[in-house]
A and B are shown apart, each in its own frame.
Chain A
Amino acid sequence: MTTVKAQQRTIRVPLLSKASGQKNVILGLIMLAALLAVGAATVQGFLSGSNVRSMLLLGAFLGLASVGQTLCALLGGLDLSIPYLIGSANIGTLYMISSGVPAGMAIVITLVLGIVVGTINGLISLHLQNQALIVTLGVGFATVGATQVLTSAGASNAGGTSGVVPDWLANISSLSGETLGLPVPPVILIWLVLAAALIFIMRSTWFGRSTYALGGNRSAARLMLISEPRRWVTVYALSGLFSGATGILLLGFTGGAFVRVGDPYLFLTVAAVAVGGTSLLGGRGGYGSTLVGVLVLIALTSLLVGYGLNNNAQQFVLGLLIVPLVGFYARNPHIRQQI
């Protein structure tokens, strides 16, 4: 009798946790639908082809930048170096291209450097897990400072990097980009394919499952012979890689290099993860949730632009709205329940 009961319980637990994860996604989708409905009703041309395209394009950049943040959050860490790495990759790549390095080569070098900085983040914060936030902030600031020193040493106009972005890169990520004749910038498709792959990897492979296991319960994961140092460093290295990639792709979007191009992503990546319902304490959520979070944030931003708010006013409103959005489902338990 007791064995039957125990069996029932072991079956029920994973089902329940899966259902609660889906609840967040469904809540997010309802929020997205509501935002789109409000937008369509109050802003002219909100659901027009060109606006949807630009929303998806901005979503693709945010989505790519949030890959690393999602993985770090699943382990219970955060990566605040993302905006600085994006800015560094942005000016670094164009600097290399304009000083004669072939574009393909420059991109590979930038991506490798992204992985290197991410690995440094991972190695340092491995033993300072409560301070991952500060470690990544410091490493990010050092990186952006070093990049600016290197790219503007000897130049007459410090801080500015001029150069010509290759046409194919501009086509990948600019609003007028085309994929095989269709008026869809390739970066959107790259993002969607990557999202599908990532959701699959996190659900069904050893890498994905062991990441959840570590974030959920460190000691239990250790007993399952999951190497915490290896996983932690890999995740931060991936975050560095995707930050670098986002920085390069933003080059094609803006057509020039600007070190502060990454600044909005400091807040937006964390917000996308939190609004999607991924716990910042680790172990719960996933890239599917972040996908919904990204779409909600982009729709919200687009709505605020539609209401005629400038960049600074948008920041203000977005900052005020995120707390209630997160409060919807990502609340901590009361101390009474924590004892």
Chain B
Amino acid sequence: MKQQSRFGRFTSKSAYAFAAWGLLAVLLIVCAVRAPYLFTASGIGGLLVSAVPLVLVVMGITVTALVGSGVDLSAGPLMIFVNVTLVKVLFDQQIGSPVAVIAWALGIGVLIQIIQAIVITVARIEPVIVTLSAFLALSGINLVILAQPGGQAPRWLAEWGSGRSILAPMTIVLITAILGWWAFTRTQLFTNLRLVGSNQRTAFVSGVPVTMIRVVAHGISGLLIGAGGLAYTGQIASGNPTQGGTYTLAAITALVLGGISLAGGRGGVLGSIPGAIAVTLISFTLTTFSLGSLASFVVQLSYGLILVAALLISVIIPSLWRKRQEVKAS
């Protein structure tokens, strides 16, 4: 009996992730029909290599959405900023040791996110304006650093992308991030973070250091987005300054699919990780149809439609669920 009620609690707590898991299941069925090789060890390895950067970025913007800063529009360009600085600035300076590269990627991600957090909380400017400005500034500087796709990643990092087995370095990064997240949800910090996200005033009058929590949340987000930039560099083994906007859109789609409340406080990576994998699978599935030169437009079209549809579903399903519970209660 207790087991069942625990299961009931789990499902009602995780109802937000419905859209992501549903879409993921549908896409996997489509893939099973159209591209069975996806379900071989190398197929799964390849999928992970292409999904991990997005998964990490989405985990990053999940934290900022949870703490109530809304959608972080700057996440894509920030990830690309890590990418272009790694292949251009660090590589040109002959800095290629794993320690230095990883420290740079994570450090710069944390730094830029903390600066944004301070502008949002201390200077008290609307988060939308801050992240939109960061989006513009970072997209601009990315193209200044690296005018077109090119450059080279350090060899050890470039080998990440060629991993075609399930236990590749990319998978280890992903597992580390997920375990880290699990540990993070066990901390007092995470509870406070969700409290700040769902009601900042209540948190403030309860003595929670609101500003501190928000800055730390953005710092954690920067850590994850920096790791995403590292994984992206490994994936393409070079630099590509043009993909920032697309990654932001893909990440937001995954976030919404995952049912994370954009008003703050509700949601978790249980929704955003399947969301990110589903978004990766969409473009993969579309490549199995021979669309030729139209492919990128169809991807654009379907991202947009899925974003809107996911938003509608993620609002409608929980409200239907709540109504059912009310009917049951009465």
Contact = CB atoms under 8 A, between A and B. Distances in A.
Interface of A: 78, 124, 127-128, 130-131, 133-135, 137-146, 148-149, 152-153, 158-159, 266-267, 270-271, 274, 280-281, 310, 312-320, 322-323, 326-327, 330-336, 338-339
A133 B128 contact: yes
Contacts of A339: 201, 204-205
Main secondary structure on chain B at its contact with chain A?
Answer: helix
A159 B298 CA distance: 12
Interface string B133-147: 111111111111000
A144 B311 CA distance: 19
A270 B132 contact: yes
Given A142-B300, A271-B133, 7 more contacts: A127-B315, A131-B311, A139-B308, A149-B297, A267-B132, A280-B126, A319-B134
Contact of B304 (A145, A266, A281): A145
A14 B256 CA distance: 41
A137 B249 contact: yes
- The size class of the interface chain B forms with chain A is 35 or more
B151 to A, nearest CB: 16
B124 A333 contact: yes
A310 B145 CA distance: 13
Contacts of B133: 267, 271, 319-320, 322-323
B303 interface: yes
A327 B201 contact: no
Interface in B189-224: 200-201, 204-205, 210
A152 B136 contact: no
5 contacts: A131-B311, A133-B71, A148-B297, A326-B126, A330-B126
B125 A326 contact: yes
Contact of A138 (B141, B210, B297, B311): B311
Nearest to B297: A148
Contacts of A313: 140, 144
Contacts of B144: 310, 312-313, 316
B132 A128 contact: no
Main secondary structure on chain A at its contact with chain B?
Answer: helix
B298 A149 contact: yes
B143 A318 contact: no
B130 A323 contact: yes
Nearest to B77: A319
Given A134-B252, A335-B200, A142 B308 contact: yes
A270 B303 contact: no
Given A135-B308, A323-B125, A338-B201, A315 B136 contact: yes
B95 interface: no
B128 A124 contact: no
Contacts of A323: 119, 123, 125, 129-130, 133
Interface string B285-300: 0000000111001111
Which of B129, B139, B144, B249 has the most C-beta atoms of chain A within 10 angstroms of its own C-beta? B129
A148 B144 CA distance: 29
A331 B294 contact: no
A268 to B, nearest CB: 9
Which of A135, A148, A312 has the most C-beta atoms of chain B within 10 angstroms of its own C-beta? A312
Contacts of B136: 267, 315-316, 318-319, 322
B129 A280 contact: yes
Contact of B129 (A149, A270, A310, A314): A270
B205 A124 contact: no
